[in-house]
Amino acid sequence: MRIATLSLFGLLALWLSGLGFSPAVEARGYRCGQCGTVVDVDRIWYERRRDSGREGAVLGAIIGGAIGNQAGRGDGRTASTIAGAVVGGLIGREVDRNDGRGRGETGLRLTIRMDRGFEQTVEIHGDMRIYRGDRVRVRNGRVDLID
């Protein structure tokens, strides 16, 4: 009788301890409506706003006109000054518009499997360190890592 009672309590204790550690119960513990797991990370580049190039055109025209003024005599000097100003203005405008910043700002495109069962794609500016498998919370287009 005593052995049967102890074995019954032992089985009951094992059964009750199994309830607290089931995967379904653990998964429910950290789920939220705005949380999910990152399934894909892609680096993206945002186009820069193109500069009009006015400042570069003016500076280029001045420099080009000064260089063109050094060539020729009389009417030829006037023509080379005008041609130098025009060519310098065009070159200066292009240099100013493409000032060496490359493709623009960097960002990330994240595909997130939300806890509610759907996938969401979010684009963020900057260079956050987010990797596949990270837990995140998405609020108003902003992504925060969950520890």
Is this model's pTM higher than 0.85 or not? no
| Mean per-residue pLDDT, 15-39 | 63
The pLDDT value given to residue 135: 93
The pLDDT value given to residue 40: 94
| Mean per-residue pLDDT, 78-104 | 79
The pLDDT value given to residue 7: 60
For the cut 80, the answer to whether the pLDDT of residue 24 exceeds it is: no
Nearest-5° angle of CA 13, CA 14, CA 19?
95
| Mean per-residue pLDDT, 41-62 | 80
Q: What is the DSSP string of 27-68?
A: HHHS--TTEEEEEEEEEEEEPPPPP--HHHHHHHHHHHHHHH
Strand-pairing partners, residue 45, are 106
Mean pLDDT of the chain, nearest integer: 78
The pLDDT value given to residue 64: 86
The pLDDT value given to residue 32: 81
| Mean per-residue pLDDT, 58-69 | 86
Tens-digit pLDDT profile for residues 97-134: 776 555 567 889 999 999 988 999 999 888 788 999 99
Cα 75 to Cα 52: distance, rounded to the nearest angstrom: 33
Cα 10 to Cα 48: distance, rounded to the nearest angstrom: 69
Dihedral of alpha carbons 126, 127, 131, 135, sign: negative
